[in-house]
Structure 1
Amino acid sequence: MRARHASLGARRAREFEAFVAGAAGRLLHAATLLTAESPDANPRARRLLSLSLAHTYACWDRLHGEDPYDRARQLLAARFARSAWHRYGGPLRHRRPAAGPLAALTPRERLILVLRLYEGVAEEQAAALLGLPVERVRTICDRATVTLLRPTAAQARPVAPRAGAATP
């Protein structure tokens, strides 16, 4: 009996290690985008990923054919949303100075943008995961995209004239 449990535990550990080897890099990148940290210095993203993977491992035997990557991504998003809520004392609205490419966005905008554009989660799934109406998810995603694509006056830099261009 004890040998059987040891064998099952070893198989479970091997399966999980194979999953982590394939998925951890992408999940870490998603967590780094969520936390708006720089890829070189991302302790919050690494902690978020570690906690999500630990929870995924804890429920590994209960997945029963469910996609472990989808589960880990859901846990990552939920942990980020919960930590942002508690950290900023509100519904993911306040901004924190950060250096990442999505630093100009609020935590809620980052969460929706990463789920929709980076992870490819459908609007309906993102809405269900976050407990928001589909229209709200679409609006937040559109607004976040516009924010990233249209730099503010402070972010815009003057364009130098091309060499050989005629000047008036």
Structure 2
Amino acid sequence: MRDRQPARGERRALEFEAFVAGAAGRLLHAATLLTAEVPDANPRARRLLTLALAHTYARWDRLRGEDPYDCARQYLATRFTHTTWHPHGAFGHARTGPRGPLAGLTPRERLVLVLRIYEGVAEEQTAALLGLPAERVHTICERATATVLHPARTASAVRAPAKAAPS
């Protein structure tokens, strides 16, 4: 019995290492989109990823047929939700420096857009994960998509009216 424990632990470590090698990049990209950071400066996203992977590793032996990627993604989303929608959340604070492509969206819009469009999670699953009606998830996703595809013009982007030629 004693010889089995080290072998089981080693197998578990190797399986998890293989999972991380295949999934960490995509999960980090999703976390970076959620936190609205840029890929080269994403400490909040890296923290989210670390927490999600630690949670998945802690549950590794109890997954029993569940997809570990789904487990990590769910934890990433719920942790992001908890930290942005609560008053003392670390990810909802204003950021300085470079901002990612989804920085113009609210945290909820970023979360729905990342889950639905980037991760391909079904509307009903996203709604269940976030505790929202599916219709609300649909509306949030449409609004977020429109905002990203057609950003509002900023004052600096508006062209100054052409000056009339002197007569």
Structure 1 unmatched ranges of 5 or more: 160-168
Distance 1:6 1:118, change over 3 A: same
Cα RMSD after superposing both structures: 2.0
Runs of 4+ in structure 1 deviating by more than 2 angstroms, as ranges, are 86-89, 94-98, 155-159
| Local SS of the residue matching 1:86 | coil
Contact 1:97 1:103 in 2 (8 A): no
Instruction: Identify the residue that residue 78 of structure 2 maps to in structure 1.
Output: 78
Letter in 1 for 2:94: R
Question: Within 5 Å, which residues of 2 pair with 1:22-101?
Answer: 22-87=22-87, 96-97=94-95, 99-101=99-101
User: In the aligned structure 2, how far is the partner of 1:66 from the partner of 1:10?
Assistant: 20
User: In the aligned structure 2, how far is the partner of 1:157 from the partner of 1:45?
Assistant: 30
Contact 1:28 1:45 in 2 (8 A): yes
Structure 2 unmatched ranges of 5 or more: 160-167
Contact 1:95 1:105 in 2 (8 A): no
User: In the aligned structure 2, how far is the partner of 1:116 from the partner of 1:66?
Assistant: 20
Letter in 2 for 1:67: D
Letter in 1 for 2:130: L
User: In the aligned structure 1, how far is the partner of 2:147 from the partner of 2:156?
Assistant: 13
Instruction: Identify the residue that residue 122 of structure 1 maps to in structure 2.
Output: 122
TM norm structure 2:
0.87
CA shift at 1:2, angstroms?
A: 2.1
Contact 1:95 1:106 in 2 (8 A): no
User: In the aligned structure 2, how far is the partner of 1:55 from the partner of 1:119?
Assistant: 19
Instruction: Identify the residue that residue 14 of structure 1 maps to in structure 2.
Output: 14
Number of aligned positions between the proteins: 156
User: In the aligned structure 2, how far is the partner of 1:95 from the partner of 1:61?
Assistant: 36
User: In the aligned structure 2, how far is the partner of 1:104 from the partner of 1:43?
Assistant: 19
CA shift at 1:97, angstroms?
A: 4.1
